[in-house]
Structure 1
Amino acid sequence: MKKITVFLLLINFLIPTTTQSETSEAELLYDPSENIEILDIHNFHTKIENSQTPWLVKFYLGWCGTCQKLSTEWKKFRNEITPWTDLVKVGAISCSDPANTPVCLNSNISAYPTIKYFPENYKSGDDSTVILKGEHLDVKALKKRVIGQIRTEISEKRGQMYPKLSTYEHPNLEKMFEGLGESVKYVVLVVEAPDQCFATEIALNLHKNRNVSVKFAPNTNTDLVNNLQVSTFPSVVVLDRNNNVSKRFTDPEGVAIESFLLSYGLEVNRIEPNTTKKIVPKKLLRLNQRVKKMGDVVFQVDLEAALRYSLKQEVSAVRVITNERLDALRAYLTVVKKYFPFGENNELITQLVKLTSSSEQVQGVEIFQLVQKAETNRAFSSVQTYLGCLGSVSGKRRYPCSLWQLFHYLTVNSDDETNPREVLTAMHGYIRHFFGCGGCSRHFQQMAIERNLSGVSSLKEAVLWLWEAHNVVNQRLKGDVTEDPEFLKDKFPAKLRCVECYEEDGTWRRNEVFEYLKKMYGKFNVRYVGSDTRVLFPDLDNMF
């Protein structure tokens, strides 16, 4: 009896696992050297609320592919607006850090990434504006949306810190300097269409320079347009005190205009982006190498990590769960209860099924509290961490990898021949209604249509449908910024792992693939490294 317990405990320490704090830290996409304010549960309210300066805040998940792609553009955006960061602050908060969950919940974040504009003197409960939600934009499109919001703030008599953009309505240039102080040496006149915002951007960039005034003229001012002889918009002319056109720009770029002004001693300050590379800890590299040597296996640690994160960070993030969302949650909990390897400890999932089945409305906080209580009572055999799904660098693999593992496992272990799409339908509903990465969710929903998920008619087809879908996603993301350099998104299973899965011409032998998946994700192939097996099998010692 004692020998069995000692043996299982020794296995748990063969491979070290990361702590909760290490997991959270590894999923940060920004650091202070990148000039983006890192917000968290401790400083969010003190910085945002009652601030005399508006804030632009990106809410993100460190593991989310769309969030990772947008992080590059968000850094570019921060660098490009350097001349006016005294007018609006730029920050980011990781909602994949459990400590920050209350902030993300109270900010009504339901898809990631989300960028919100918090006006000056904001107070908790006030309105904030969504700039972006669950999508990716390049820096140009992102800047256009932000400047559009600033124009709205100005037009609605808010944002008193922003420069007031004068509209020039005269048919010629004779009154260009009318009403301007003697210190103004140049006027930058921007002629543009109503849906363009280049004039506002230039005004923001030059707001500190008292020698330059920026004015806007609509392209509907036909007399002025004809006098200036411009036909493309936006067009920019720079005039001196004698109304001489010192410079003319068509199809302008802000940097070109600023370079011209710089030649006259009118400086616009910018900073270069930080390009420092993060060093991967040797401990993490060694752990990845040891896991790789174990081959295609499934760890209880990863399955539990996926389940806990999905319930505590995603489902709980929805304030009120009703209608289709509640049906999707019920389906998800049903397949988890039937097929997840809880061992003898499934009290949590039983409580969740009871809660969701007895009401037409469930509060996200109720889910959170039940999971938190279960963690306190040691309902899980491991801490919230990753092992087989641990990435080699910050923000790679982790939750998305573990969620794939979870649904592969549930699909392989499903045994209801009368409902072969049971797990796939639950997966589709979960990803549609709860999965945090907005772009990923849309891709999966589209793939479900294109690959005819509704046509799956057997358990074998269900297993192979998910396998093929996973390979489609891997192919789409191969070489992407989200790819882990140590775990490339190659075809699965690799030929090295399953030679019999391949024909001589490299095509798949589907029957052999099916058998391989059944073995890999079978309940007897789950590894308990990093798990306390006494939680899963409390009566194990009594058997010997």
Structure 2
Amino acid sequence: MLKPLALLLVLAGSQCAPLGDLYLPDDDVEILTIENFKRYVENSTSAWLVEFYASWCGYCQRFAPPWKQFATEAAPWRDLVRVAVLECSDEINTPICRDFGIVKYPTVRYFHENSHFDGGDKGVIVPREFPVTVDAIKKNVIERFMTEMGEGRGVVYPNLLPYLHSDLEPFFDEEDDDIFYGFLVVEDSDSYLGGEVALDLHKTPNVTIRHALNNNTKLVKNLQIGKFPTLVIIDRNNNTQIVTENIEHKKELKATIADYLAKKGLKVCETTPEKKGHLSLDPHPDPKQRSRTLLRQKIKKMGDAVFQMDLETSLRYALLREVSTTKVIKGEQLAALRAFLNVIKKYFPFGYNSTSFINNLTNLTSSDEVQGVQVQVLVQQADDSGVFSTPQRFLGCQGSANRFRGYPCSLWRLFHYLTVNSVLLNVSNRKANPVEVLGAMHGYVKHFFSCSHCSEHFQKMAAERNLTSVSSLEESVLWLWEAHNVVNKRLKGDTTEDPEYPKEQFPTRLRCPECYGEDGTWRKKEVLKYLKRMYGRYSVRYVGSDTKVLFPGLDR
């Protein structure tokens, strides 16, 4: 008879690690997959802005709300440029992310109109800033459009290049004969108001909307402009009108233009083209959701327990969806991969059928360079041949929503496990390298961990906390424990925090009262004992594992 936890696991389903829920069909972004990416983006009459992301990535979670808001505000531009997303943490999309060299998330790529992938068009990275805002996204995107126009592309856009003349006499020289009215926004050099309004109203007939910068001093002087932004209205008869009030914001500026055109019997045109089609959400409730919730609640009561399922899922995710997405691995990256596989080979709790798999991986990295797809093939073959004892899903690291916990949680647990077992398996080895696991972790996070902001934070912390100065294996266990608590403290209350699993200093007083002194300070010797108990090889829980894979003959 199945035990209660195992029964719940069966009822909850054995699907792969769940996909994210950052973007939904109701959002104004286009949702791309391997099935529609090339069909929509290649040879498109419009340009595309595509965010490549992973749902578990904290930076991606912070990036999603402003990206969605940008897509909403840029909806009138859809006939010119489409705003889209593609989830690289979905294994089915790995070939796309590998082909386009996406190794850090989020990455935003701009694909110009009529892009030809066979011709080497891989898109252009659009800069992103942190903290991210809608205004910062707009500024970077419009600057990309202007660069495209300056390089002879971007023919789909209205003229977004600054007006450079010193007077208005040549204003209509490059315009079609059916352009009767011009609107020139003279603005600060770091403003994009004029460009944004030109894009919003690009379908309005008989008008052109341009912008000039306040560093065009001759024009500013000739027009006697002393305030920015200023709107200059001009018609074919060189009649001009200068407006300085109620135009500082896009809504006000557009209203001013609309009012002027209405007096001329014209209307502004600001239509929103439809999105491309994609799969809609299943309207029927998930019958297994209740079982998953009950399972999560029971697992939560087990506290800091380490599950074989989380360790195996973490390793497969790392190899399949991070290492494998790197098209060619060489140099420092390859050295980092060798170090990572070395500690995996030594300390990971594989079953007895794993020798050929891990040897094949390490032999593969003995060459001067490795193709990411070669790693993918070996891991998939191992999965098919029963090397792993569990399905690809999270158990102790499953969050209350798909975007919470998951892979980052499991990766922390994997490295805690590796540091602890490097101590336990090297008791009599005085020559053991005290930073063997920490160095491998640092190399992996630097070169392969795909959440770019998280990777940068860890590298900075490693330098500040002198990772390389760790002098014993036990000290390496405590170094990683302290580093993890530093991250927990930084992320406590953050938007990426799972409300059902708030960030706490671990172990909690409830789990390890002896780890705390009377004054609340840590008793590190007791913490070390606790970590050895929790992450030791014989403390791993095998809920959902096929123990015949791990311990052949056990059932005889």
Fold match by TM threshold 0.5: yes
Deviations along 1:114-158, whole A, 9 cap, x unmatched? 111111112223321111479663221221111111112212221
Question: How far 1:239 sits from its partner (Å)?
Answer: 2.1
The more displaced of 434-443 and 337-346 is 337-346
Deviations along 1:485-537, whole A, 9 cap, x unmatched? 10111111111211121223322111111111111111111100011111111
Aligned with 2:34 (options 23, 37, 41): 41
Q: Does 1:414 align with 2:410?
A: no
Classify 1:456/1:18 alpha carbon distance in 2 versus 1 (closer, same or farther; 3 Å): farther
> d(CA) in 2 for partners of 1:487 and 1:533?
29
SS of the residue aligned with 1:93? strand
Contact 1:186 1:238 (8 Å CA) reproduced = no
> d(CA) in 2 for partners of 1:321 and 1:90?
31
Normalising by structure 1, report the TM-score: 0.90
What is the root-mean-square deviation of aligned Cα atoms in Å? 2.8
SS of the residue aligned with 1:298? coil
> d(CA) in 1 for partners of 2:88 and 2:129?
14
> d(CA) in 2 for partners of 1:401 and 1:287?
18
Q: Does 1:257 align with 2:236?
A: no
Question: How far 1:460 sits from its partner (Å)?
Answer: 1.7
Aligned with 1:237 (options 231, 235, 242): 231
Contact 1:206 1:212 (8 Å CA) reproduced = no
Q: Does 1:138 align with 2:133?
A: yes
SS of the residue aligned with 2:84? strand
Classify 1:222/1:109 alpha carbon distance in 2 versus 1 (closer, same or farther; 3 Å): same
SS of the residue aligned with 1:252? coil
| Aligned counterpart, 2:340 | 332
> d(CA) in 2 for partners of 1:129 and 1:457?
44
Aligned with 2:358 (options 349, 358, 380): 349
Amino acid across the alignment from 1:148: E
Contact 1:174 1:243 (8 Å CA) reproduced = no
| Aligned counterpart, 1:525 | 539
> d(CA) in 1 for partners of 2:200 and 2:13?
44
Q: Does 1:155 align with 2:150?
A: yes
SS of the residue aligned with 1:380? coil
Contact 1:396 1:484 (8 Å CA) reproduced = yes
Q: Does 1:427 align with 2:444?
A: no
Question: How far 1:541 sits from its partner (Å)?
Answer: 3.0
> d(CA) in 1 for partners of 2:165 and 2:114?
37
Spell out the pairing of 1:44-83 with structure 2 (5 A cutoff): 44-83=37-76
Classify 1:203/1:21 alpha carbon distance in 2 versus 1 (closer, same or farther; 3 Å): farther
Amino acid across the alignment from 1:50: N
Contact 1:501 1:509 (8 Å CA) reproduced = yes
The more displaced of 514-523 and 438-447 is 514-523
> d(CA) in 1 for partners of 2:163 and 2:111?
31
> d(CA) in 2 for partners of 1:495 and 1:63?
28
Amino acid across the alignment from 1:191: V
Question: How far 1:159 sits from its partner (Å)?
Answer: 2.0
> d(CA) in 2 for partners of 1:497 and 1:161?
62
Amino acid across the alignment from 1:489: K
Classify 1:148/1:20 alpha carbon distance in 2 versus 1 (closer, same or farther; 3 Å): farther
Aligned with 2:453 (options 439, 445, 452): 439
Segments of structure 2 that go 5 or more residues without pairing to the other structure are 273-280
Deviations along 1:394-445, whole A, 9 cap, x unmatched? 3110000000000000011113453111110110010001111111100000
Question: How far 1:24 sits from its partner (Å)?
Answer: 3.8
Q: Does 1:189 align with 2:203?
A: no
| Aligned counterpart, 1:15 | 9
> d(CA) in 2 for partners of 1:63 and 1:512?
32
Question: How far 1:219 sits from its partner (Å)?
Answer: 3.0
Deviations along 1:211-230, whole A, 9 cap, x unmatched? 54212334343233124444
| Aligned counterpart, 1:3 | none
Question: How far 1:263 sits from its partner (Å)?
Answer: 4.6
Spell out the pairing of 1:205-220 with structure 2 (5 A cutoff): 205-220=200-215
Amino acid across the alignment from 2:251: V
> d(CA) in 2 for partners of 1:134 and 1:303?
33
Q: Does 1:98 align with 2:91?
A: yes
Amino acid across the alignment from 1:253: H
| Aligned counterpart, 1:482 | 496
Question: How far 1:18 sits from its partner (Å)?
Answer: 5.6
Deviations along 1:441-460, whole A, 9 cap, x unmatched? 00000000111111111122
Deviations along 1:272-327, whole A, 9 cap, x unmatched? xxxx9x99944433222111111210000000000001111111111221121111
Classify 1:388/1:176 alpha carbon distance in 2 versus 1 (closer, same or farther; 3 Å): same
Q: Does 1:86 align with 2:94?
A: no
SS of the residue aligned with 1:34? coil
Identity score, percent = 49
Aligned pairs, how many?
Answer: 528
> d(CA) in 1 for partners of 2:373 and 2:206?
55
Contact 1:284 1:392 (8 Å CA) reproduced = no
| Aligned counterpart, 2:510 | 496
Contact 1:192 1:219 (8 Å CA) reproduced = yes
Q: Does 1:400 align with 2:393?
A: no
Amino acid across the alignment from 1:90: V
| Aligned counterpart, 2:306 | 298
Question: How far 1:82 sits from its partner (Å)?
Answer: 1.9
Classify 1:178/1:104 alpha carbon distance in 2 versus 1 (closer, same or farther; 3 Å): closer
> d(CA) in 2 for partners of 1:400 and 1:171?
56
Contact 1:116 1:132 (8 Å CA) reproduced = no
SS of the residue aligned with 1:321? strand
Classify 1:232/1:450 alpha carbon distance in 2 versus 1 (closer, same or farther; 3 Å): farther
Q: Does 1:514 align with 2:528?
A: yes
Classify 1:332/1:71 alpha carbon distance in 2 versus 1 (closer, same or farther; 3 Å): same
SS of the residue aligned with 2:365? helix
Question: How far 1:199 sits from its partner (Å)?
Answer: 3.0
Classify 1:353/1:232 alpha carbon distance in 2 versus 1 (closer, same or farther; 3 Å): farther
Classify 1:240/1:453 alpha carbon distance in 2 versus 1 (closer, same or farther; 3 Å): same
Q: Does 1:32 align with 2:25?
A: yes
| Aligned counterpart, 2:275 | none
Amino acid across the alignment from 2:462: A
Contact 1:113 1:134 (8 Å CA) reproduced = no
Classify 1:12/1:20 alpha carbon distance in 2 versus 1 (closer, same or farther; 3 Å): closer
SS of the residue aligned with 1:506? coil
Classify 1:97/1:169 alpha carbon distance in 2 versus 1 (closer, same or farther; 3 Å): closer
Segments of structure 1 that go 5 or more residues without pairing to the other structure are 1-5
Amino acid across the alignment from 2:446: R
Question: How far 1:193 sits from its partner (Å)?
Answer: 5.9
Q: Does 1:309 align with 2:317?
A: yes
> d(CA) in 2 for partners of 1:64 and 1:504?
38
Deviations along 1:51-94, whole A, 9 cap, x unmatched? 11111111111111111111111101101212212110111111
> d(CA) in 2 for partners of 1:178 and 1:334?
68
